[in-house]
Structure 1
């Protein structure tokens, strides 16, 4: 008996009748968050009551808590109220960094922040994404690296797999979905090179 041919997917335009999103089929595949469920559940509560709590202004307390959950936090780091960190065990922050109010480090994958980095109010660093060509919107991800001296301005978004180069600036409200070259200023959505950053010597 002849076997039935295997069903193969065709690539069609998203506005065609054949294109259909099927979120019930979504899967994270072999993704491993790095800690068992009970640790993540405890962190969810600690994050909500200590880090995200606007009534807790203490940077020192936040750093103690983050280190207890596996984060690598350098010296002289300043953490403002209302920050949100998905998985502290996947976070590294270098010396003398500033993390502003309402910053969301959505680190399903590692986020590495070099020394003397400023991440301003409401910035969003997102390591997770979806394959939009897949009807099941399958999970994709990639770590984020912010190199020494970079500045992620207020309300900017940095997407998965991106490296922000040394002393680069991602302007306010920008959406950065590709690497930012060292020493350049990027603005807009999608973020584009604006000009070279000029700096006075110390």
Structure 2
């Protein structure tokens, strides 16, 4: 019997108005000094940091601070952590950014105290305004509070605030704020339960009482 192939789908009609990146917006939106700083940082990250020993936390803090990062003395990153702009990063005491985490901080990313961002998570503080024809770059900040756990493979989108003591489940997609003490999971992430209040005296149930400069929870 002859084999009948499926007919090709009809072509899409031409749009009445096309969203496009024009040369005037996709060219060079930053000054030359910014590109030089990025270039130098990429060299340092690909060599001095990428091949550093596992426990060389002070060495990595030194170079991140040289490029403008604000890091507590007990903050930790790994050799495979990829940070786009150190000068737009703030990490509090005893917080860790784990292996292969992508810190895409075109805008500010602030991480509180005693917080863990687990392996292969993606923090994305940059996007494009799709409502405009030229799709300009926008850089909404990400704020992650104290005592938070962002589990492996999770994606945290631009403009998101994660409240103190919250948990983001593995491989979740966070596009909206997560309340304090919530456990959120899924795509998109939704609150599925409440985390019990901490009993460790180092992490009070209300971290703001001990740290007035901490990010405000939603």
Q: How many residues matched? A: 187
Structure 1 equivalent of residue 86 of structure 2: 88
Cα deviation, 1:103-144, whole Å, max 9, x if unaligned, reads: 111111111110000000001101111122334332122011
Counterpart position of 1:46: 44
Q: Is the 8 A contact 2:181 2:197 kept in 1?
A: no
Q: Deviations over 1:21-40 (max 9, x none)?
A: 42345726996589632222
Task: Indicate conservation of the 8 Å contact 1:26/1:136, yes or no.
Answer: no
Q: TM-score, normalised by structure 1?
A: 0.83
CA RMSD of aligned residues (A): 2.4
Aligned pairs for 1:30-179 (under 5 A) are 36-51=34-49, 53=50, 56-57=53-54, 58-179=56-177
Moved more, 172-181 or 131-140: 131-140
Q: For 1:163 and 1:24, locate their aligned partners in 2 and report how far apart those are by CA, in whole Å.
A: 32
TM-score by length of 2: 0.77
Structure 2 segments unaligned to the other structure (5+ residues): 1-11, 201-218
Partner deviation per Cα, 1:153-188 (whole Å, 9 max, x = no partner) = 101011111111000011100010111100001101
Residues 62/130 of structure 1: CA separation in 2 closer, same or farther (3 Å cut) = same
Contact 1:84 1:103 in 2 (8 A): yes
Name whichever of 21-30 and 109-118 sits farther off: 21-30
Cα distance in 1, alignment partners of residues 31 and 102 from structure 2: 17
| Secondary structure in structure 1 of the residue aligned to 2:103 | strand
Which of the pair has more CA radius of gyration?
A: 2
Q: Aligned partners of 1:145, 1:22: CA distance in 2, in Å?
A: 30
The answer as to whether partners of 1:99 and 1:120 remain within 8 angstroms in 2 is yes
Distance 1:73 1:55, change over 3 A: closer
Distance 1:33 1:62, change over 3 A: farther
Q: Distance in 2 between matches of 1:164 and 1:68?
A: 28
2:38 aligned counterpart, secondary structure:
helix
